Each structure stands twice: as C-alpha cells, then as structure tokens.
Chains A and B, each alone.
Chain A
Amino acid sequence: MRKHDLLPDISKPGKIGCTLPELDVPLAELPPEELLRKELELPEVSEGELVRYFTALSKMNYGVDTGFYPLGSCTMKYNPKWHEDIPRLPGFGSTHPLQAQETSIWLRSPAWMLSLSFPWPEHTVSLPAS
C-alpha cells in the first residue's frame, strides 16, 4: 500500500475483512429483480489491510494520546475514555430505543451507573457535565 492509497485503491474483488454468519434457514424467493440494487460502491479488503489502513490514518491524527490538547468547542473537548466504554457494554450497546421501558429502566438507575466497575478505579464514580 502506497502512502496516499485509499481503500478503493487497494480493493480486490472477492476480498472481505470479516467473517459473516452462516445461512441456517431455507432460501426464500428474492423480491423482483427491479427492486434489487445491482452494484455497491464499497471496497473489498482483507482484515489485515483494513486494520493497517485505519491504524496508519490514526497516526496522522493529533489528540490527547499524542500531545497537549487545549480545549476547543464541544466537538473538540476532551471526553474521558471510559465514556467510550459504557456504550460498548454488552446489553447497553444493543438496547433498542423502542424496546419496552421495563426492559431498560435499569439503564436509568443511578445505582446501576455507580455499580459499574471500570479499569480505572479512580474514575469509577464520576458525573461529568454534558
């Protein structure tokens, strides 16, 4: 991969960067051909190529991991890293906005929020302003 190559530049037909679930049900008849899209403009790359591409991009970035980061606007301010961990918790990330309230009420419980334990113990309890 050359330095300025984008994913479409290194795309090769048939490559894929992940494993997909198996089809475990009988085939159903597809909708009429005219309702189906013929072509998708997406690259085809291997997982290794994908990881290397985005890792290379991340090295061009400047952020709190690489140096001093004075506060900018809302979009630029420093957000604690554990804010990224919470939405990825199993059961939290897959909560549907329309699912019944009684199945998600615990998400709004302060007791639950405070019971979370993070890899950074000193930050376990924190109620940052939005």
Chain B
Amino acid sequence: VGKTADVEGRPGYVMTMVTREQYIRREKAISNICTSEALMALAAAVYLAAVGKGGLRRIAELCYHKAHYAARAISKLKGYSLVFDRPFFKEFAISCPLAPSKINEVLLHERIIGGLDISHMIDYGMLLCVTEMNTKQEIDRLVEILASL
C-alpha cells in the first residue's frame, strides 16, 4: 500500500503495482478465483493496535514465563525430560516415560488436549505449547496428571 496526496494535499492510500484484474481492467476480467485475506488482516491490525507495543511485549513475556514454568515443572517429574537445552519461547519438546499417544488419551479423558505427538521424530517425544491463555492452575493440573502416569 502506497501513500500519496490528492489535489488538495490530503493523504490518500492506494494499492500500487497490483496488476490483478480485480483491481485493473475489471470489465475484462476472466479469472476470479481467489480468497480474501482482508478480513484476517483487519482482525490482526485491530488486535495489534489494541495491545500496542507495550502489550505485545508483555504478552510475549507471559508466554515465555508460563512456558518456562511448565517446562521446569514437567522436567522435574520422574521419567520426563526436556529434549533440547537451547533457549525457547513458548514451545518445547519433552521426552516422556510412555508413548505420547497413551498420555494424550489420559489427558483427553481429563478434558485436556495434550501436546503434539512427535514420536516419529524423537523417541517418546511430545511438543508442548504454553501461552498467555494458560493459567498457572491449568499448568499445575497438567503436571499433576503427568506425574500420576
């Protein structure tokens, strides 16, 4: 999107170098198969403006601290360990004492959707993600169930 000025000097915004027939020569357009990303872009713009520069950093920190809290607690459990020791943001791979599919069955029974089964890449591997949406209470409950297996 380019910025320009109209004859009265007011700012105007226009899509430049977009040679799609939806925008130019519309009367001659013959192919019109496409999806609209505009609504998703609008929703993302509203979200980013609502949280702002301080809020987005704060959300990133929430994700980080909560994910690390969960990773630390799980890695202390007998049979569980972190697969990697490099810095991570909100996703981490763990090695489990039994098949991730079995663990997820139990978790589902407890109304928790478990981690992504990555045992085809890492033996007994599960990829977990914790974000600002998860409470300490939820994390503690997950850890408690994992400990009981």
B7-66 interface with A by 8 A CB criterion: 10-11, 22, 26, 29, 32-36, 38, 46, 48-59, 61-62, 64-66
B interface residue count range (under 10 / 10 to 19 / 20 to 34 / 35 or more): 35 or more
Contact across chains for A42 and B113 when beta carbons are under 8 A apart: no
Contacts of B77 in A (CB 8 A): none
**Is A64's beta carbon under 8 Å from chain B?**
no
- State the interface size on chain A (CB cutoff 8 A): 42
Main secondary structure of the interface of B (DSSP, over half): helix
* Cα distance A100–B66 in the bound complex, in angstroms: 24
Q: A75-B38, A103-B113 are in contact. Are A15 and B65 (CB under 8 A)?
A: no
- B13 to chain A minimum Cβ distance, whole angstroms, is 9
Contact across chains for A103 and B108 when beta carbons are under 8 A apart: yes
**Is A7's beta carbon under 8 Å from chain B?**
yes
* Cα distance A27–B69 in the bound complex, in angstroms: 8
Contact across chains for A4 and B10 when beta carbons are under 8 A apart: yes
Contact across chains for A99 and B52 when beta carbons are under 8 A apart: no
Contact across chains for A16 and B55 when beta carbons are under 8 A apart: yes
Contact across chains for A40 and B53 when beta carbons are under 8 A apart: yes
Contact across chains for B11 and A4 when beta carbons are under 8 A apart: yes
Contacts of A26 in B (CB 8 A): 65, 69
Nearest CB in chain B to that of A96: its residue: B113
**Is B139's beta carbon under 8 Å from chain A?**
yes
A1-52 interface with B by 8 A CB criterion: 4, 7, 11, 14-18, 20-21, 23-28, 30-32, 35, 39-45, 47, 50
- A61 to chain B minimum Cβ distance, whole angstroms, is 11
Nearest CB in chain B to that of A45: its residue: B49
**Is A73's beta carbon under 8 Å from chain B?**
yes
* Cα distance A32–B88 in the bound complex, in angstroms: 11
- A42 to chain B minimum Cβ distance, whole angstroms, is 4
Question: How would residues 89 to 126 of chain A score, 1 for a CB under 8 Å from any chain B CB and 0 otherwise?
Answer: 00000001011101100000000000000000000000
On B, residues with C-beta under 8 Å from A are 10-11, 22, 26, 29, 32-36, 38, 46, 48-59, 61-62, 64-66, 68-69, 72, 87, 104, 108, 113, 116, 132-133, 135-137, 139
